Structure 1
Amino acid sequence: MSSALRVHWTIAPEIAPRPLINCNRCGCVKAYRCSGKFRVNANGKRIDVWLIYRCVDCDNSWNFGIFERCNRRDIAPALLAALESNDPALVRSHAFDIVALRKQVGRVEEFPDAAVRKQVIGEMKEDATALELRLGLETPVSLRLDRLLANELRISRSRLQALDERKLLTVEPDGAKALRKPAREGATIRIHLAGEPDRRTIISAAGG
């Protein structure tokens, strides 16, 4: 694919997942949002750390356990300082850890909203006749691949389906069935556009 534009897309979810918890104030299951703050409790040599969540309706708090009864010596000083200062990057890494959230509460509300950073690999080729898109995920997302491609390439999902049926679109791994699944780390999408009337528009959208 010497005439292909190669682009790396980095996908970052925009809205943190919300655990669904039985709120003792509301008297029913409610979504809890991340407060952006840690609670660090030191008791002698032992440290407990939680990420604080609050009910979206009544502001009742719930603590998402990060460290429990951990020896202070087992936590790097830089990490402890980041926890105590509510470092935004550290908050984000835990707030988007949906696997850990599910282990603690079971049910989690997910959002498909995501930002996409596009980096052209090599030189921008406005006259390219094909695309090679490689996906990188900051954290797992629930955004379906066909919706991601349609949004970012500014074409319809039915158009993507038609390209697939004409063998002009391939996805590795998983093939065409990947279009109906959430975008995944390391996926490579190849689209042949020779002869497509809006080829330049799609190429431009792919490169950002």
Structure 2
Amino acid sequence: MSRTLCVRWTIAPAIAPRPLINCNRCGGLKPYRCGGKFRVNANGKRIDVWLIYRCVDCDNSWNFAILERRNRRDIEPALLAAFESNDPDLVRRHAFDGAMLRGRAGRIEESPGVTARKELLDGEPGRATALELELRLEGTTPLRLDRLLAGELGLSRSRLQALDNRRRLTFEPDGAKALRKPLRNGLAVRIDLAEESDCTAIVSAACR
């Protein structure tokens, strides 16, 4: 039986990214927070949908365009109803879409805080001497890989670097200095723990 424990980590930002907008009330560049509500405007058969953001200092509003001049018949009735009712899951999906938000606002402020949902795919924690971590990202985050691994596995970043130097860490797709780079969706991390005295504790942390 394989001594490798395979675990999928689904990583989600804990705090939604905030656009940096020139606030015409404050007179400078300010972060705007998501207000949790959509604004739906109908002009004849054309529909506009915005997610409302507000300045953290003065509450001035800014509209994050989701749909623009879209023909009503091209929008599924259930989706339109979700916009009109401020469906929380739909708000979250758009609020955490850092790439789209950056495309609209130009600059965004991202928090490194994340949550990790762990799913055991294969192997037995009590027998494992190696870890294979499959990373899936729900949203964008500036968090570096070494900080994620350190926090979730209970290891110092210097020890992770030492494991990497000893070729006990491998990455797929392979990349130089992967530990110091922001998380990438689909990255697979393999850690050989056969020579580590606290192997059992590390393996346990990987799946809880």
Q: Shorter-chain-normalised TM-score: which range?
A: over 0.9
1:65-122 deviation digits (Å, cap 9, x = unpaired): 1111111001110110110111111111111122221222211111111100001113
Give the aligned partner of residue 47 of structure 2. 47
- Which structure 2 residues correspond to residues 97-116 of structure 1 after superposition, within 5 A? 97-116=97-116
Residues in 1 aligned to 2:108 and 2:195: alpha-carbon distance in whole angstroms? 45
1:162-186 deviation digits (Å, cap 9, x = unpaired): 0011111111113341111111111
Residues in 2 aligned to 1:120 and 1:151: alpha-carbon distance in whole angstroms? 18
**Are residue 22 (structure 1) and residue 22 (structure 2) matched?**
yes
Give the aligned partner of residue 169 of structure 1. 169
Size of the aligned set, in residue pairs, is: 208
Seen in structure 2, the aligned counterparts of structure 1 residues 80 and 63 have a Cα distance that, compared at 3 Å, is same
Residues in 1 aligned to 2:79 and 2:196: alpha-carbon distance in whole angstroms? 52
Query: Taking structure 1 as the reference length, what is the TM-score of the superposition?
Result: 0.96
Residues in 2 aligned to 1:117 and 1:99: alpha-carbon distance in whole angstroms? 22
Unaligned runs of 5+ in 1: none
Residues in 2 aligned to 1:175 and 1:72: alpha-carbon distance in whole angstroms? 46
Give the aligned partner of residue 79 of structure 1. 79
For the aligned residues, what is the CA RMSD? 1.2
Aligned-pair identity (%):
69
Residues in 2 aligned to 1:98 and 1:46: alpha-carbon distance in whole angstroms? 26
**DSSP-derived class of the 1:20 partner:** strand
Residues in 1 aligned to 2:177 and 2:128: alpha-carbon distance in whole angstroms? 26
**DSSP-derived class of the 1:170 partner:** strand
Residue 195 of structure 1, CA deviation: 2.0
Residue 127 of structure 1, CA deviation: 2.5
Counterpart AA for 2:103:
K
CA contact (8 A) 2:125 2:200 kept: no
Residue 197 of structure 1, CA deviation: 1.0
Give the aligned partner of residue 155 of structure 1. 155
Give the aligned partner of residue 199 of structure 1. 199
Unaligned runs of 5+ in 2: none
Give the aligned partner of residue 178 of structure 2. 178
CA contact (8 A) 1:21 1:105 kept: yes
Residue 123 of structure 1, CA deviation: 4.5
Query: Taking structure 2 as the reference length, what is the TM-score of the superposition?
Result: 0.96
Residues in 1 aligned to 2:115 and 2:103: alpha-carbon distance in whole angstroms? 26
**DSSP-derived class of the 2:177 partner:** helix
Give the aligned partner of residue 89 of structure 1. 89
Counterpart AA for 2:184:
R
1:118-160 deviation digits (Å, cap 9, x = unpaired): 0111343222111011011112221111100000000001000
